[in-house]
Amino acid sequence: PGNQNQLNLAIVGHVDSGKSTLSGRLLHLLGRISKKEMHKNEKEAKEKGKGSFTYAWALDESSEERERGITMTVGIAYFNSKKYHVVLLDSPGHKDFVPNMISGATQADAAVLVVDASMGSFEAGMNGNGFGQTKEHAQLIRSFGVEQLIVAINKMDLVDYKEERFDSIKVKLGSFLRSCGFKESCITWIPISAMGNQNLVTAPSDAYLSSWYRGSCLLDAIDLLQPPLRDVSKPLRLPICDVTKLHTLGFIAVSGKVEAGVVQNGSQVLLMPSGEIATIRSIERNSSPCNAASAGDNVGISLHGVDQIHLIPGGVLCHPDYPVSVARRLELKILVLDIKMPIIIGSQVELHIHHAKEAARVVKIISELDQKTGKVSKGAPRVLKSKQSAIVEVNLERPVCVEEFSRCKALGRAFLRSAGNTIAVGIVTRVFPLYI
Ligand code: GDP
């Protein structure tokens, strides 16, 4: 399938609501996990005393990001629906879910919020004293710009597929979701049983459930989501991920994902932050040559006319008339992860933004954001501890190519790291450009 049909789907929800079971089921039903893999995973999971995490193991094994160890751990798995190449952003089997979830959320085009329908469990997911991850996750994904939500009301088998239970959850959670800023028309409610395979990729086989539920199954609901806007009409942005020097042919190739715009063979591009003009000699997409590539495509590109020294991961190929902004000072909205040392003004961190990595210093803590409402709380805290959310300003040792998250997600997502650990994740809310 073409990349224009890719849909990044985050699966979020309270611990034990059934996210891993659901993801695994979908992958299996849609032919992404073989029987053999399933059995292998099942055996391993049992040996570790985690029988119910069979599917979680399957997901975990394909976690490419973890291997790279650069960004956060997000299990990456995908399947194809009629309309989309669906990439699942999940954090299976891990209980420290929020940090992983948030990384998924910044990449998500839409989300499935899984809730446990069983008596007492739904209520636990909604309560405020630290365990209410249903609420927490809903707020976080909304604050990262996700607008489309499918609420999968799971474990319906445990409540005898009762319509009243489904309705009552819908009423309670619905008013909360609206208060987070989700539009009624952008929420789809589906009763499912991930374990019992009800309403996942086909209409329910359970006679009682199908007697009252007339909506789509989960897979069809995914197809009904609005396609994500790929910024094809915007100026070219291609952050360089890797650089290979093809000595024998005397030119250099770079690889990366086209995040916005288009690139064409023979055309000129501007390499930032160095400001050199290069000419595209060849483009490769999915290992075969092509004449042009557009937003969403992963490509390898060979260039000439630029000094090798300036071709580095973190550089960005741009439309010559519309350079990406370059900045040494940024305002970020961050969520602090579990950290031992609080973040203070003056804290030295390493800022990761697309493929750039730069030493940085926290120079201002502008305000704290209320966990419940996401609103700015009065006064600026002097230190930031685990789980706090805040607006901060950072100064970078050297300039990086960056854009505000609202303009280009891929160039506006940031991670703060220190001593080999990710200490905060966030988005760029303001860029103080060096040159305009
Ligand atoms: P996660 O923490 O959200 O990933 O949840 P898991 O997928 O690990 O599931 C938590 C527990 O709920 C496991 O014991 C699953 O077997 C169980 N579970 C998941 N889905 C269903 C379901 O539809 N019905 C029932 N009865 N149990 C389920």
The answer to whether the Cα torsion of 94, 59, 146, 418 is positive or negative is positive
Does 53 sit in the ligand 1 pocket, CB within 6 Å?
Answer: yes
Q: Supply φ then ψ for residue 177, to 5 degrees.
A: -60, -40
Q: Are 172 and 126 in contact (CB under 8 A)?
A: yes
Give which of 234, 227, 262 is closest to 403, Cα–Cα.
Answer: 234
- SS3 for 429? strand
- Kindly give, in sequence order, each residue whose CB lies less than 8 Å from that of residue 301, ignoring residues fewer than 6 positions away: 238, 253, 254, 255, 263, 280, 282, 283, 284, 317
Ligand 1 mean position, distance from CA 151 (Å) = 16
Please report, for residues 172, 177, 300, 388, the alpha-carbon distance to residue 126 in angstroms, rounded to integers and kept in the order given: 9, 11, 46, 20
Cα separation, 403 vs 319, whole angstroms: 15
Does 195 sit in the ligand 1 pocket, CB within 6 Å?
Answer: yes
The per-residue pLDDT for 99 is 46
b/e for 108-140, b at 16 or more Cβ within 10 A?
Answer: bbbbbbbbbbbeebbebbbeeeeebbbbbbbbb
Please report, for residues 8, 30, 90, 97, 282, the alpha-carbon distance to residue 75 in angstroms, rounded to integers and kept in the order given: 12, 17, 5, 12, 33
Does 137 sit in the ligand 1 pocket, CB within 6 Å?
Answer: no
Does 213 sit in the ligand 1 pocket, CB within 6 Å?
Answer: no
The per-residue pLDDT for 34 is 59
The per-residue pLDDT for 299 is 84
Nearest CA to ligand 1 atom 13: 52
Q: Are 302 and 281 in contact (CB under 8 A)?
A: yes
On whether the pTM is more than 0.90, the answer is: no
Nearest CA to ligand 1 atom 24: 155
Does 148 sit in the ligand 1 pocket, CB within 6 Å?
Answer: no
Ligand 1 mean position, distance from CA 153 (Å) = 12
Ligand 1 mean position, distance from CA 113 (Å) = 14
The per-residue pLDDT for 185 is 95
The per-residue pLDDT for 173 is 93
CB atoms within 10 A of CB 184: 8
Low-confidence ranges of the chain (pLDDT < 70): 1-4, 33-77, 89-107, 128-132, 143-144, 245-250, 286-287, 371-374, 435-436
Cα separation, 130 vs 136, whole angstroms: 9
Cα separation, 352 vs 78, whole angstroms: 25
Residue of 21, 46, 161 to mutate, ligand 1, most atoms within 8 A of C-beta: 21
Cα separation, 154 vs 169, whole angstroms: 11
- Kindly give, in sequence order, each residue whose CB lies less than 8 Å from that of residue 238, ignoring residues fewer than 6 positions away: 256, 257, 258, 259, 263, 269, 299, 301, 316, 317, 318
Please give the number of the atom of ligand 1 that sits closest to the Cα of 93.
4
Q: Are 104 and 9 in contact (CB under 8 A)?
A: no
Nearest CA to ligand 1 atom 14: 52
Cα separation, 241 vs 365, whole angstroms: 31
Ligand 1 mean position, distance from CA 43 (Å) = 18
Q: Are strands 6-13 and 85-90 parallel, antiparallel or unpaired?
A: parallel
The per-residue pLDDT for 110 is 92
In the β-sheet with 85-90, what is the strand arrangement from edge to edge? 75-80, 85-90, 6-13, 110-116, 148-154, 187-191
The per-residue pLDDT for 374 is 67
My answer on whether omega of the bond before 235 falls inside 30° of 0, hence cis, is no
